[in-house]
Amino acid sequence: MGTSTYVEHRPTGLEGWAECVWERRAGDADDVARVIPDACMDLVWSPSGGLTVVGPNTTAFLAALPAGGSALGVRLHPGCAPPLLGVSAEALRDAGVAADHLWGDDGKRLEESMGAASGAGPRRALLVAWLDERAHAALAPDPLVRAAARTLSAAPQTRVAWLARELGVTERRLHRRVVSQVGYGPKRLGRVLRLRRALADARAGRGLAEAAFGAGYADQAHFTNDCRELAGVPPTSVFFKTQPPDRATIQG
């Protein structure tokens, strides 16, 4: 089967809720990916693990696939999973919960349909259609939380006190709303998004010093230390959740 592959697809109709629909397949050997914190929550299906909601992780974890195994998931924007899936971000922090536990018979039926589908394309369509139906009935994501996430994504070095003033709320209220919808507070959210941006820039070919500066780190050493703490390894050793460009393609 060759090397492992990772592919992302644009989630047509779910752009306001989801970053991507992703597929991962192991080659002819067991494959282990280091999943870096990204402030997102995922709805994930695999033949061995069934259908699971994976909450926001505060540090990296290793996701293993057996040789020839596969996994498919939808990655939801920070703050979008709670209203769409009816779950608690804080309760799912660093955890995963089976679909039938969350949604009873509805979750079990979706899981069974995923297992019976003939291939990645039909399974991807099933997940997107199920989420699209929920999106039509769901409350909109918290606008304050989405605004905070957008600001911190664009400028991860933003101080929480300044962000709260800009959004017209107290720091305490901002913290409470972000924790409820993202799973952790705005300070950690900023750290996670800063690391994500720096790693993406480094993966795109920028030097570590340039990537660190662009993401708002004081210096390259600060970037390296933060990466060790959140990802468990230095930037040069990261196995990216989103694979390097020669192994990950965005498809329509």
Q: Write the class of the CATH domain 143-237.
A: mainly alpha
What pairing do the DSSP bridges indicate for beta strands 61-65 and 250-251? Answer: unpaired
What is the rounded distance in angstroms from the CA atom of residue 93 to the CA atom of residue 183? 6
Residues 223, 217: contact at Cβ < 8 Å?
yes
Q: What is the pLDDT of residues 16-57, one digit of tens each?
A: 999 999 999 999 999 999 999 999 999 999 999 999 999 999
Q: What do you get for the CA distance between the two ends of the chain, in Å?
A: 24
User: 22 CB contacts (<8 Å, ≥6 apart)?
Assistant: 6, 7, 8, 9, 72, 73, 74, 75, 242
**Alpha helices by DSSP H, the chain:** 81, 99-103, 105-116, 120-137, 143-154, 160-167, 171-182, 186-203, 208-214, 220-231
Domains of the chain, by residue range, sit at 5-140, 143-237
Q: What is the pLDDT of residues 85-117, one digit of tens each?
A: 999 999 999 999 999 999 999 999 999 999 999
Round the CA-based radius of gyration of the chain to a whole number and report it.
Answer: 18
